Amino acid sequence: MKNYKFWIGVLISGIFVYLAFKGVELKKFLKTLSGINYLYLPLLFLLPLVAFYVRALRWRYLLGKEIKIKTRNLFSYLMIGFMANHVLPARIGEFVRAYIIGKKENVRASFAFSTIVVERIFDGMVILLLFLPTIFFYPFPEWIKKTGLLVGLFYPLVLVVLIILKVHKEWILKLVKIVLKPISPALLLKVKGILTSFIQGLGVLHKFDHLPVIIFYSFVVWTVTSLRHYIGFLCFDISLPFSACFFVFGMVFIGMMIPASPGSIGTYHYFCLQAFLLLGVEDKNLALSYAFFMHITNYLCVTSVGLLCLIKENISFRELRKTS
């Protein structure tokens, strides 16, 4: 039962792989892949790295002025974290990132992790701002619009919870003390330390001078990431407007939230396929070929660069597994 999370993820991925490939003709699928325009291939590998470098610039602001870390180091930690998401179960990459920056830069891991949580909130809200308008731009079924709006409520609600945690820090710590002191004073001390450090990392939520830069970088990150999907349209000679790339990526993002196997195998492909069907691309072989190609190129790019950064930082893969 030790690796039950891994096997649950594999099962979920297997179900979505089956649903994605159901009704696909293998010969047509392979023929479509063989007809790709590889002229744009360098961009498919370059754009993710541009997005990750902008992420590193944004992370510097999330960490605050007091913490001086070079952007290239933050880029390296980011790549290792996202590589871990591709090869380790339960999307453990965020914890790996917090662990590495704590080890390398003498920053408390709980503090670093809180900045990563805030980063993910900004990511989710910006993706939804790019994704939601496309729902109403195209004549999608009503359930798609309702689902999009429902998902759109999630990130603002989490942001409100984090703000409450930051504003009412003392009240939260008192509540933790009331609950944990009778159970274990040692556990109380440890939890208070972690929680205090975590809340400290939420400082950006009231540093309004940083917010415009963070929001700007967030839009750049996800515009570049969505642009990669438009480059994919060109590779397959798919006649869809530029705005469609935001919808495709939005659907893929929803799929990647499902706890599947490392690398979002299956969920990525199924939701990408559904995006094309909703956009009126009825050739399932073409849509799935696109999903497969976009997934594998991104996987190879992030995993290979992440492994190189792992070697650069002199961290063993065994250490990452132990951390997870």
pLDDT digits (tens, 9 = 90+) for 292-309: 999 999 999 999 999 999
pLDDT at 125: 85
What is the C-alpha separation between 270 and 249, in angstroms, rounded?
12
In a domain, 244, yes or no: yes
pLDDT of residue 306: 95
Q: What percentage of the chain has pLDDT greater than the value 70? A: 94
Which is more confidently placed, 150 or 174? Answer: 174
With tokens 């050739």, the residue in question is 283
Q: Is pLDDT of 1 > 50?
A: no
DSSP 70: -
Average pLDDT over residues 234-261: 89
116: Cα within 13 Å, side-chain hemisphere: 22
pTM comes to: 0.85
Residue 274 lies in a domain: yes
In a domain, 3, yes or no: no
In a domain, 303, yes or no: yes
- Mean per-residue pLDDT, 19-28: 88
**What's the total number of domains in the chain?**
1
Q: What is the pLDDT of residues 212-242, one digit of tens each?
A: 899 899 999 999 999 999 999 999 999 999 9
251 falls within a domain: yes
- Where in the sequence is the domain holding 208, given as residue range(s)? 10-323
> What is the per-residue pLDDT for 320?
79
> Which band of pLDDT confidence, cut at 50, 70 and 90, is reported for residue 273?
very high
Let me know if residue 73 belongs to a domain.
Answer: yes
User: Could you tell me if residue 2 is inside a domain?
Assistant: no
Q: CA angle, 170 as apex, 165 and 171 as ends, to 5°?
A: 75
- 219 close to 131: Cβ distance less than 8 angstroms: no
Closest CA to 275 of 185, 140, 116: 140
In a domain? residue 245: yes
Average pLDDT of 91-101?
A: 88
Confidence grade of residue 207 (pLDDT, cut at 50, 70, 90): low
Who contacts 255 (Cβ-Cβ below 8 Å, separation ≥6)?
16, 264, 267, 268, 270, 271, 272
Average pLDDT over residues 122-147: 78
Q: What integer best gives the mean pLDDT of the chain?
A: 86
Specify the 3-state DSSP secondary structure of 24.
coil
**Mean of pLDDT values over 96-105:** 90
Across residues 269-282, what is the average pLDDT? 92
